[in-house]
Amino acid sequence: MKSLLTCLSLMVLGIGTALFIGFHDRFSTEEPYYDDEQEGLKDQIVFKFSHVVAENTPKGRAANKFADLVYQKSGGTIKVEVFPNGSLYSDNEEINALQNGDVQFIAPSTSKLGSLSPEWGVLDLPYAFTNYKAVQEGLNGKIGTRLFASLEKHHLKGLAYWTNGFKQLTSNKGPIFTPDDLKGQALRIMPSSVIEDQYRLLGAHPRQDSFNSTFQLLESNLVDGEENTISNIYSKKFYNVQDYLTISNHGYLGYAVMTDEHFWNSQTEKTRTILTEAMRETTEWNEASAEKMNKDQLEEIKKNSSIHIHVLSKAEKNTWMKRLDPIYGQYEQVIGRGLVQDLLSLRREP
Ligand code: SIN
């Protein structure tokens, strides 16, 4: 009996201690635990970077590289936490999250910025850029400067342009050789009226939806196809639920890396210098690596799937360009004549 009582008292004591420790840990107002060997860690600043694509893409890798560089350059006192795959915010939510201070960096596709200013539509014009060199000339020149200036009225600050590459077409309905092959096809597109009108012009049924719902839309046949870069088609495995892929390079997909102006101005000069330097190095790396990443991932798609691939010939591309040309006239007033003319001066044969 005595030993039973001793045993019971020990159990009560044990449970009480465990509850106390749990309660203390959960609600303690003491300083959090830091590893003393990592000097200065308790003064560490943490920023959040949210994006919607996979990590093995030009944007995913650039965001991680930026985080690494910031950490190195600040001696570990600034940490950028990267949230890929829309795990924190979807593409429909991320601009608001930035403006509300819930996240400090985002890199939306420029096609998603038309709601801020219609000028962004210039980058969605069909065959706007016909190679990576033209993209860099445009974005590092007058076009890029003008577009970043348009963010100021929203108290947003453009930090850099990151590139992904050129969009291709995928479908389940049939092979796409000519613009007429898209007639009647339902296609998921990004939220851009310029893109929407291109597909309407060809008699397709575009549907604006978020990136992270695309696989589901394709898999459940709610749409027949979509347009995207190879890196997005590969990393999100769209090729597993699509039968046809056409290498059309008919549009550009790139990113505006942005932060909130109030956030930026409230940082010390030293922090801003570290962030600026890290962003510059990341952008150079992104420009040098995006094309190869897309090329390599096309080879992976060929190896890992039975999707039928058609590469548009030069003559076929010219046919697509001509069919889509009326979009330039339709949007010249909306986007602004100056911007459209600047773009046309960079346009080359496909
Ligand atoms: C992205 O590359 O950020 C997403 C593109 C898309 O929405 O299709």
Residue 219 has pLDDT above 80, yes or no: yes
Distances in Å between the Cα of 347 and the Cα atoms of 3, 123, 132, 197, 242 are 90, 12, 12, 20, 31
Q: Whose alpha carbon is nearest atom 6 of ligand 1?
A: 211
Residue 218: how many other CB atoms lie within 10 Å: 23
Q: What single DSSP character describes residue 31?
A: P
Q: Whose alpha carbon is nearest atom 4 of ligand 1?
A: 211
Residue 246 has pLDDT above 70, yes or no: yes
Q: Whose alpha carbon is nearest atom 5 of ligand 1?
A: 211
Distance CA 139, CA 150 (A): 14
Residue 113 lies in a domain: yes
What is the rounded end-to-end Cα distance, in angstroms, of the chain?
Answer: 92
Q: Whose alpha carbon is nearest atom 7 of ligand 1?
A: 211
Side-chain half-sphere CA neighbours of 158 within 13 A:
23
Residue 257's domain spans which residues? 43-347
What phi, psi does 29 have (nearest 5°)? -95, 5
Residue 198 has pLDDT above 90, yes or no: yes
Nearest to 163 by CA among 187, 188, 137: 137
pLDDT at 347: 83
Judge contact between 52 and 164, C-beta under 8 A.
no
Residue 37 lies in a domain: no
Q: Which two tokens stand for residue 289?
A: 């690596």
Q: Whose alpha carbon is nearest atom 8 of ligand 1?
A: 211
Residue 130 has pLDDT above 60, yes or no: yes
Residue 163 lies in a domain: yes
pLDDT at 242: 98
CATH number (domain holding residue 244): 3.40.190.170
Residue 2 has pLDDT above 70, yes or no: no
Residue 31 has pLDDT above 80, yes or no: no
Q: Which tens digit of pLDDT belongs to each residue from 270-286?
A: 999 999 999 999 999 99
Residues 6 or more apart in contact with residue 152 via CB below 8 angstroms: 261
Judge contact between 347 and 214, C-beta under 8 A.
no
Q: Which tens digit of pLDDT belongs to each residue from 131-173?
A: 999 999 999 999 999 999 999 999 999 999 999 999 999 999 9
Residue from 52, 55, 111, 195 whose mutation best tests the ligand 1 pocket (most atoms within 8 A of CB): 52
pTM of this structure: 0.88
Total domain count, the chain = 1
Residue 22 lies in a domain: no
Residue 248 lies in a domain: yes
Residue 12 has pLDDT above 90, yes or no: no
Judge contact between 63 and 88, C-beta under 8 A.
no
Distance CA 204, CA 23 (A): 60
Beta bridge partners of 169: 227, 246
- In whole numbers, what is the pLDDT of the chain averaged over residues? 91
Ligand 1 atom nearest to 107, measured from its CA: 3
Ligand 1 atom nearest to 214, measured from its CA: 8
Residue 7 has pLDDT above 90, yes or no: no
pLDDT at 40: 53
pLDDT at 17: 41
Judge contact between 51 and 107, C-beta under 8 A.
yes
Residue 257 has pLDDT above 50, yes or no: yes
pLDDT at 348: 76
**How sure is the predictor about 85, in pLDDT bands with cuts at 50, 70 and 90?**
very high
Residue 20 lies in a domain: no
Q: Is the CB of 331 under 6 A from ligand 1?
A: no
Judge contact between 139 and 161, C-beta under 8 A.
yes
Residue 50 lies in a domain: yes
pLDDT at 30: 34
Q: Is the CB of 190 under 6 A from ligand 1?
A: yes
Nearest to 98 by CA among 151, 34, 139, 25: 151
Task: Please give the distance of CA 296 from its chain centroid, rounded to a whole number.
Answer: 19
Nearest to 130 by CA among 296, 307, 249, 298: 249
- Angle at which helix 269-304 crosses helix 58-73, to 10 degrees, equals 150
Side-chain half-sphere CA neighbours of 174 within 13 A:
9
Q: Which tens digit of pLDDT belongs to each residue from 33-70?
A: 334 345 555 689 999 999 999 999 999 999 999 999 99
State the average pLDDT over residues 184-188: 98
Residue 16 lies in a domain: no
State the average pLDDT over residues 175-200: 98
State the average pLDDT over residues 79-91: 97
